Structure 1
Amino acid sequence: MAERLLRTRRVPRLEVIEAFIEAAHAPSFRIAAERCALSPAAFSRRIQAFRDFAGREVFDRTPRGVLLTDAGRECLAVLEPTYRAMMEAARDLGAMGRPARVTISLSHSLAVAWLIPRLERFRLRAPQIEIAIQTTRSAESIRSGAADLGICATDIDVAGLHAEHLLDIDITPVACPEMADEIRAGRRRLSDHRLLTAVQDPAMWSWWADKVGADGRPLPRAETFDMANALYEAAATGWGVATGMSVTVTPHLQSGRLVSLGLPAARYPGAYRLVAKASRMRSAPVAAFWRWLAEEGRLQRRSLVFACQPPHGAAVASSAAMTASEIR
């Protein structure tokens, strides 16, 4: 039936077929409209145009959502393979004579501390793919198409986008070596120092202390920073003790400008996700970069960032038995 339609009726525009195929795979018309970068009204007009072409209902509204009818499934089976092949051929033609370019959106701190130090590994694997970086802490550039994919914290709204878990966040106190020596030798307590944390969670110190079972007097109110790199730079100059986040603090630990205090680490309830429009995932360069990022995320999750930090200074040995109850 669907094949006969293609032979006997005027073929609809490509964007109408695209809307039908996206609607067939999306959990709702709203999400399908977002994937096509259309308003709900414009998307509905395209679905209606396809229905007029088919001459039958292709979707059925049910309590479980919008589902394909038998006619819709028949149309999808005939049209989708050809549509996918044509789009792939068009992308291949567009890539001829120039390197592929993939744009990723993520926060400045995550770009500097996590992604950029790893990028050379991807360039060795896929030298034909150029990577462009946009630093922002929202998903808007992904939705607008300005970025092909992104890494977003779990407090960012990514509704309508394809998302997969990428990175966990572990929290433990970090400080410059001199301040760490004082605390670990027992000459000063953690609560005697200025506390520093990220502005996204001003209560992170109290959360960490409760999570690791610390008791005693309340910790002082923390000073906040809107970028993790600024937070760690302040701690490295001796301004205070910072909440070290495993995914962003590593360069400062590796350089020795910050050290772990040897106190317990706690798994933060937030995390980072890989995010993209489903339509962008069909691009071979984007898919290749996505797979590499996912591999790097798995490697990061298997590593023990804080457990690997060696004691710093001779004074540390005498404080190795410090427990969570002595933190405050």
Structure 2
Amino acid sequence: MEEKLPPLNALKAFESAARHLSVKLAAEELCVTPGAVSQMLKTLEVHLGTKLFERVPRGIYLTDAGRDYLPSIRNAFRQIAEASRRVAASNDVGVLTVSVTPFFASAWLVPRMASFHDSHPEIDLQIVTGNALVDFSRSGVDVAVRHGLGRYPGLRSDRVVTVEMVVVAAPSLVARLGRPQSPGDLSDWPQVHDAERKGWSLWFQGNGIVEARAPRGPSFDDSGLLLKAVLSGQGAGLLPAAMVENEVRAGALIQLLETAHMEEFAYYLVCPDNRQTLPKIAAFREWILGPLAQSAMVAG
């Protein structure tokens, strides 16, 4: 007699809650209410006849049974995801989902998309924007373009184009703190950050500086909002040169240091190493790394 499986939604709720150790964060990830997550967890525990979580006033933690159960459930979801990807990839045509940062999308990719369509009319690009590096095993994203040093363990990373980033601040902040004489001076300045709070860290690394403190200050997932925060004097910002060109020329912002050319500080095409030869991905990779990319440097 075939054994009855637990409800799939309950298993998803268990995996998410166990990963976050939070009913609230699991609910946000699954787009349901915390009450719904709690109910699904109870349903699963009743089905299994054992407790998977201990509930405490400040949250939840896994029981021994929950810790034993979690690896198998995660592996099962990975197998389902991988099988689904293989089936979807068996067709050479269709939709290619590309995750890019908002500024790269508007400044570089969108103006050039017609070129890709002319070369590969059988592939439709679906562009999704965001700043965080995606989880390729869960998101449905095929490839991503991210800005940084291109160091992503377990992923294939190819430099698309080197960008010119400049450090700027409002005149009021410069008047209060004085002009920095070297990149190291900025480690003590208030800073405005990207959503992942990595931009400044990468910039300091590229200038051979080990930061003495963890990044502090406000962060934004939109470069336009980040620019507004810098203009209002909330801190120094690391922004694309082309994006702040008018503000610097008008005196609304001051470029604090000469631009340092860092070849590795660039936009990178990122994808799982074991998927780079899939036809749709290979076509996009060949196009974005080809002469079109090298013929024009972007500043963002």
Q: Normalising to structure 2: TM-score of the pair?
A: 0.47
Rg comparison, structure with higher value: 1
Q: Normalising to structure 1: TM-score of the pair?
A: 0.44
